[in-house]
């Protein structure tokens, strides 16, 4: 009996231990869950309190609401030539092949064109006049430009003017109850400032991304024909954002997004985006609206940056930076003002020019025939020379005029025609037996003013405004100098002989 009574407690103890071993993990898990839940609820209560001090979210919401109605989608179409096998083979020299051959072509065979579509962004900066700023690379060379507002309204562009050297373009639409965004002062932007990028990346309209100003004064494309003073940002910018605004926390447009830096052709946003500063946009926009083109100032010097070692050898005071003159063009404004080789230019028109890019941008922004003070160091001595700026020579900008699929210019395309240099082979193709000078009409847009005035493929333009032309560049130069309402007078000849005068109205450009 005694032994039975001692066994029962032992059994209960063993059972309790076994049950504890069995249920221990479950109990521990429940206890851990209760603790975690308590911590989560405590954190959530803490977040509710912290959110009351959140200033960024309301700020970003307010900026987006203020600016988004001014941001538009820019849809473009362009008639592009479809290359054929003959075109491809013509790129090669006879020595590239072990035997000679040529793809036969029918004389006057029409070109094959297809419509290419693209899309970018833009921002209304003058609602009263219907002016929209975007990128040249979005609308340059387009045959048709359509603007889609934030509320879905669509407008055809009344005209498009662009500047390839700054990648800035202006599109005008009907000013019909538009909402704009003001252009701010990009000189006031500082590294670390919050900014928002708004646009249509990957065809997703009204997308807003946030970041900061990463750097200023970036010069990315090392090409003497480009004018850049770019703002760098880590706000997400992708394909389709081009032409959209970069705005500050006041809702002002401080830049026009235009490019990204990527590690490969297959990469997207990597946190390195760039925008044309608003102050440069203002200058370019004003000229495009008032004159239809951009005219840049010119000194007539070749320059290079000065490194610290060179600065010391040239006697520059410590900390002074500039651009040293390595060549002075004969009879240029610089030569007439007395600038010499090895002069170091440190300031022009009151603005510091600490490097080549600074100097190029400052000079380009000055209107021709403007007298400005140029501060230099010569043999270690500081001097100021008055210089009357000139007009940038045509040969410096000729290759930057918008080109089509071959050598036609933007202005010629807007007349409804494509032009080509009149080579011997092309003259023979179009049936000219005798030597002839001029530029060939290589294509005429169907339904265009040019077609209505009976311009045809194969005709040769020998004169524009009574001036003889022997190249597409010469044609473009004369055409670009005409007033907007000035009629275009062409003298053309045909393979069958004879000449005709054709008059085209610029106000009815296609």
Structure tokens at 375: 């501060």
State the average pLDDT over residues 370-394: 92
Q: For residues 244 and 242, what is the distance between their CA atoms, to the nearest angstrom?
A: 6
**Phi, psi (5° rounding) for residue 383?**
-140, 155
- 407 falls in which pLDDT band (50, 70, 90)? very low
Residue of higher predicted confidence among 460 and 265: 460
pLDDT for 275-292, tens place per residue?
999 999 999 999 999 988
CATH for 60-293, among 3.10.20.310, 2.40.10.120, 3.40.50.1220, 3.40.50.620? 2.40.10.120
Highest average pLDDT, of 16-25, 230-239, 306-315, comes from: 230-239
Closest CA to 359 of 271, 229, 233: 229
Least confident of 15-19, 52-56, 159-163, 478-482: 15-19
pLDDT at residue 403 tops 60:
no
State the average pLDDT over residues 61-85: 84
Residue of higher predicted confidence among 348 and 22: 348
CATH for 297-391, among 3.40.50.800, 2.20.25.190, 2.30.42.10, 3.40.50.150? 2.30.42.10
State the average pLDDT over residues 394-414: 54
- Is 3 labeled as catalytic in the residue annotation? no
The pLDDT of residue 325 is 93
Given the residues 87, 137, 471, 510, select the one marked as catalytic: 137
pLDDT at residue 127 tops 60:
yes
Closest CA to 463 of 427, 435, 488: 488
CB atoms < 10 A from the CB of 326, how many?
12
Beta bridge partners of 418: 443
Given the residues 242, 278, 365, 448, select the one marked as catalytic: 242
The pLDDT of residue 224 is 64
- Is 137 labeled as catalytic in the residue annotation? yes
State the average pLDDT over residues 320-331: 91
- Segments in 1-131 forming alpha helices (H): 2-51, 56-67, 85-90
DSSP 286-313: HHHHHHSS---EE--EEEEE--HHHHHH
For the entire predicted model, the pTM comes to 0.69
Structure tokens at 146: 């359509």
State the average pLDDT over residues 300-317: 86
pLDDT for 165-210, tens place per residue?
999 999 999 999 999 999 999 999 999 999 999 999 988 999 999 9
Mean pLDDT of the chain: 83
Least confident of 14-18, 56-60, 108-112, 351-355: 108-112
**Contact predicate 188/61, CB 8 Å:** no
pLDDT at residue 69 tops 60:
yes
- 93 falls in which pLDDT band (50, 70, 90)? very low
The pLDDT of residue 135 is 96
Strands 371-378 and 253-260: what pairing? unpaired
pLDDT for 129-144, tens place per residue?
999 999 999 998 888 9
Given the residues 126, 163, 167, 229, select the one marked as catalytic: 167
pLDDT at residue 416 tops 70:
yes
- Is 242 labeled as catalytic in the residue annotation? yes
Closest CA to 327 of 358, 366, 359, 301: 301
Q: For residues 198 and 208, what is the distance between their CA atoms, to the nearest angstrom?
A: 5
CATH for 398-508, among 3.40.630.30, 1.10.150.120, 2.30.42.10, 3.90.1150.10? 2.30.42.10
């Amino acid at each position: 009996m005694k032994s039975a009574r001692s066994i029962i407690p032992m059994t209960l103890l063993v059972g309790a231990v076994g049950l504890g071993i069995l249920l221990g993990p479950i109990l521990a898990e429940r206890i851990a869950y209760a603790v975690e839940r308590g911590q989560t609820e405590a954190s959530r209560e803490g977040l509710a309190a912290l959110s009351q001090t959140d200033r960024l979210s309301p700020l970003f919401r307010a900026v987006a609401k203020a600016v988004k109605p001014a941001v538009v989608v820019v849809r473009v179409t362009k008639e592009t030539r479809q290359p054929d096998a003959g075109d491809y083979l013509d790129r090669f020299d006879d020595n590239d092949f072990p035997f000679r051959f040529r793809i036969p072509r029918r004389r006057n065979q029409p070109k094959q064109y297809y419509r290419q579509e693209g899309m970018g962004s833009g921002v209304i900066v003058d609602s009263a006049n219907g002016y929209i700023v975007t990128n040249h690379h979005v609308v340059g060379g387009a045959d048709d430009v359509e603007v889609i507002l934030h509320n879905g309204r669509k407008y055809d562009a009344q005209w498009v003017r662009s500047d390839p050297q700054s990648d800035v373009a202006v599109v005008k639409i009907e000013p019909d109850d538009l909402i704009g965004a003001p252009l701010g002062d990009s000189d006031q932007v500082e590294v670390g400032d919050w900014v928002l990028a708004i646009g249509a990346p990957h065809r997703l309209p009204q997308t807003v991304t946030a970041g900061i100003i990463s750097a200023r004064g970036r010069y990315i494309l090392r090409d003497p024909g480009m004018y850049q003073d770019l703002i760098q940002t880590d706000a997400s910018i992708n394909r389709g954002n081009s032409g959209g605004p970069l705005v500050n926390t006041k809702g002002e447009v401080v830049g026009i997004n235009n490019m990204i830096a990527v590690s490969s052709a297959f990469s997207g946003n990597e946190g390195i985006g760039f925008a044309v500063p608003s102050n440069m946009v203002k200058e370019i926009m004003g000229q495009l609206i008032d004159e239809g083109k951009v005219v840049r100032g010119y000194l007539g010097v070749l320059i290079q940056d000065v490194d610290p070692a060179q600065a010391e050898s040239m006697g520059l005071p410590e900390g002074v930076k500039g651009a040293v003159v390595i060549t002075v063009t004969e009879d240029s404004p610089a030569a007439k003002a007395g600038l010499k080789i090895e002069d170091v230019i440190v300031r022009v028109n009151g603005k510091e020019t600490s490097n080549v890019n600074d100097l190029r941008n400052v000079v380009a922004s000055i209107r021709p025939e403007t007298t400005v003070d140029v501060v230099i160091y010569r043999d270690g001595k500081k001097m100021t020379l008055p210089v009357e700026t000139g007009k940038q020579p045509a040969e410096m900008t000729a290759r930057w005029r918008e080109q089509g699929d071959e050598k036609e210019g933007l202005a010629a395309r807007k007349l409804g025609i494509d032009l080509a240099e009149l080579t011997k082979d092309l003259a023979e193709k179009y049936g000219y037996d005798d030597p002839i000078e001029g530029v060939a009409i290589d294509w005429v847009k169907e339904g265009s003013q040019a077609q209505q005035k009976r311009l045809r493929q194969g005709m040769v333009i020998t004169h524009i405004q009574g001036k003889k032309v022997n190249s597409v560049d010469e044609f473009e130069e004369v055409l670009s100098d005409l007033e907007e309402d000035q009629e275009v007078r062409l003298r053309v000849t045909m393979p069958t002989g004879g000449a005709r005068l054709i008059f085209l109205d610029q106000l009815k450009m296609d």
